[in-house]
Amino acid sequence: MAPETTATPTRVEGSARPTPPADVQQARALFDQFVVVPTKAMFEPTLPPRDTYTVNNYNVPVEGGEILVRCLVPVVENKDETFPVFVYIHGGGMCVGGVELDDYPLRCWCVRNKLSVVIVDYRLAPEYPFPIPVDDCHAALKWTVSNTSLLKADLSKGFIVGGHSSGGNLSAALAHIVRDDPFFEGRRLTGQFLREAGICHHDAYPDKYKPKFQSMEENKDQLPVTKEKLEHVYKWYNAPPSDPRFSPLLISSHEGLPRAYIAAAGLDVLRDDSVVYAEVLREAGVDVKFDLYPDATHGFHFDSPTISRDAEEGLRWLLNLTS
């Protein structure tokens, strides 16, 4: 059985985490109790055998500290075989959650699709407000392309960034950042995986698209993520609504972005972020696969293995493994 290992951390000055306020601690405890634990319990029976993949944690230096990345790599008979890589950014409003949230389903995807996975444990607001989570995830992407040997990765086979909810927001912003960053010349992203992503702050909707953004009011009281709750975590994150690193819809050009898989829930306050963004990307010449689930609420994939399988098919589409 391949062991789970943790790399010896290289501590960076100033890496001690501030103590979060009591209400943040409570939010994180509740999120772990009612989201993380049930999700792991749901997917635990489906986990592949432990000798079919490895799990390693690495500490990545970032500005002012360090972050953890958890790397899942398939174990195959041909030890020289290489794999595409999926850099996954967890949800939780940039304030709660962590690498454990989607760890188990990602282990399944890793083995079934012969895919190396890097799960990013970016630092959370309000202790680390905007743009620190964006910068942390950018650093994780740079670490990934600089450590392909650790991951047995071949970026030409696929280099995807993605996540759920706030992880989708960060991924959409990073797709633009990587497109324009010379560091990634010759090793650009090939896909973006955006599930229930926030794409534009509701106080910064462009006039051109305002009539199409109806879900924020239509679903404002729909649990589990109401408009009031969303505004609360946005205050913790403290990003200017019109900053394109938080509202990537506002970036002047979406041309040259990698193909995108986008999934949306019909009863979600963020539904129309996905609807509009799919339209905008297509207008910019980006290939888009879009799934909408009319009767689902935010976070629906935690309760629906069927829809989770659809998301895996979206990932396979990004990898050119399906039509």
Residue 156 catalytic?
no
Alpha-carbon distance of 269 to 290, in angstroms, equals 17
Q: Out of 102, 103, 165, 301, pick the active-site residue.
A: 165
Alpha-carbon distance of 30 to 104, in angstroms, equals 20
If residue 193 lies in a helix (H) or strand (E), which one and from where to where? strand 191-195
**Is residue 222 a contact partner of residue 268, using CB atoms and an 8 Å limit?**
yes
Please report the sign of the dihedral spanned by the C-alpha atoms of residue 203, residue 207, residue 208, residue 212. Answer: positive
If residue 28 lies in a helix (H) or strand (E), which one and from where to where? helix 22-31
Q: Angle 155-53-72 (CA atoms, 0-180°, nearest 5)?
A: 50
Residue 232 catalytic?
no
Residue 203 catalytic?
no
Q: Out of 268, 272, 273, 301, pick the active-site residue.
A: 268
Cβ neighbours of residue 283 under 8 Å, at least 6 residues apart? 254
**Is residue 176 a contact partner of residue 257, using CB atoms and an 8 Å limit?**
yes
If residue 16 lies in a helix (H) or strand (E), which one and from where to where? none
**Strand 65-74 relative to strand 116-121: parallel, antiparallel, unpaired?**
antiparallel
Q: Out of 273, 298, 301, 308, pick the active-site residue.
A: 298
Alpha-carbon distance of 120 to 124, in angstroms, equals 12
Q: What 3-state class would DSSP assign to 35?
A: helix
Query: 92: alpha, beta or left, given left = phi > 0 and alpha = psi -120 to 50?
Result: left
Please give the C-alpha separations between residue 64 and each of 45, 86, 96, in angstroms, as whole numbers: 39, 26, 20
Alpha-carbon distance of 44 to 65, in angstroms, equals 32
Q: What 3-state class would DSSP assign to 220?
A: coil
Q: What is the set of active-site residues?
A: 165, 268, 298
